[in-house]
């Protein structure tokens, strides 16, 4: 993962690596050779009909500009990207103005990662093989331990009004992120929702982490506090999960 960040910085600083808009066109156009279409009607609801639900099945309701990388190669710069958390697909189209009907799912590969504005997404086969893998947002890359975030969404179906005096409720997509500690060997440790159970993940360092959290008045259920704790954890000489 450290290699990914270094590669990104080098590519950002070296304009000669960018091959231009023609490369973008070739890369995105190649996706049209795949007999795949984006899943926009899961859960018996049309995602494009945003008046029918609250929340969003995506990382962001709209496509945002980003870059696509494979290893040390910049495949596409400034393309339109959006992560479909329900289908676990990265959607891509040539530009923000390209019709949504022309968007396609990005090929799932651990060699390919994307940067959407300031967020880096990687595909990791953490359950064995591509089929068992998924996309994760990289929240922090440490010397020994990284922090990944899985953008899970809970779908709550619409509830029609049963009588004239009761209210109807739209369908909802509710954020239910799952956080993971990831070792440099690629081992994933899912963090429980309970604060106390989170501390148990730190193994023999549990007391040290518990003291750090208490002294700094941190809440391990808060994303920024979790990242701050892992930064401290990486600073310890002997760490073990």
User: What pLDDT score does 27 carry?
Assistant: 65
> Does the pLDDT value for residue 149 go beyond 90?
yes
User: What pLDDT score does 130 carry?
Assistant: 60
Rounded Cα gap, residues 41 and 60, in angstroms: 17
- The mean pLDDT of 111-116, rounded to a whole number, is 95
Residue whose C-alpha is closest to residue 77's, from 30, 12, 122, 33? 12
Q: Delimit the domains of the chain by residue range.
A: 2-190, 202-241
B/e letters for 33-67, b = 16+ CB within 10 Å, e = fewer, are eeeeebbbeebebebeeeeebebbbbbeeebbebb
Helix (H) / strand (E) element for 163: namely: none
User: What pLDDT score does 29 carry?
Assistant: 61
| Sign, CA torsion 187/190/195/201 | negative
User: What pLDDT score does 241 carry?
Assistant: 77
Residues 86-102: tens digit of each pLDDT = 999 999 999 999 999 88
What does each C-alpha distance from 216 to 80, 211, 229 come to in angstroms? 40, 9, 10
Rounded Cα gap, residues 236 and 171, in angstroms: 46
Weakest mean pLDDT among 7-11, 79-83, 159-163, 228-232: 7-11
User: What pLDDT score does 212 carry?
Assistant: 97
Residues 46-81: tens digit of each pLDDT = 888 999 999 999 999 999 999 999 988 999 999 999
User: What pLDDT score does 240 carry?
Assistant: 74
Residues 12-51: tens digit of each pLDDT = 434 443 445 566 766 666 654 444 566 655 667 888 899 9
Residues 173-226: tens digit of each pLDDT = 999 999 999 999 889 999 999 988 999 999 899 999 999 999 999 999 999 999
């Amino acid at each position: 993962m450290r290699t990914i960040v270094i590669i990104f910085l080098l590519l950002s600083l070296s304009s000669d690596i960018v091959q231009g808009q023609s490369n973008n066109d070739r890369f995105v156009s190649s996706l049209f050779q795949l007999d795949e279409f984006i899943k926009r009607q899961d859960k018996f609801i049309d995602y494009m009909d945003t008046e029918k639900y609250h929340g969003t099945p995506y990382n962001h309701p709209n496509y945002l500009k980003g870059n696509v990388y494979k290893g040390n190669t910049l495949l596409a710069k400034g393309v339109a990207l959006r992560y479909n958390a329900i289908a676990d697909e990265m959607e891509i189209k040539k530009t923000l103005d390209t019709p949504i009907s022309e968007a396609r799912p990005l090929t799932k590969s651990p060699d390919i990662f994307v940067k959407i504005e300031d967020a880096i997404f990687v595909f990791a086969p953490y359950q064995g093989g591509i089929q068992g893998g998924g996309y994760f947002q990289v929240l922090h890359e440490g010397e020994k331990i990284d922090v990944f975030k899985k953008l899970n969404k809970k779908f709550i179906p619409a509830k029609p009004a049963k009588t004239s005096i009761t209210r109807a409720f739209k369908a909802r997509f509710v954020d239910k992120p799952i956080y993971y500690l990831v070792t440099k060997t690629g081992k994933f440790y899912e963090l429980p929702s309970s604060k106390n159970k989170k501390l148990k993940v730190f193994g023999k360092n549990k007391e040290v982490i518990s003291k750090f959290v208490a002294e700094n008045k941190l809440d391990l259920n808060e994303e920024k506090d979790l990242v701050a704790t892992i930064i401290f954890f990486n600073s310890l000489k002997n760490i073990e999960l």
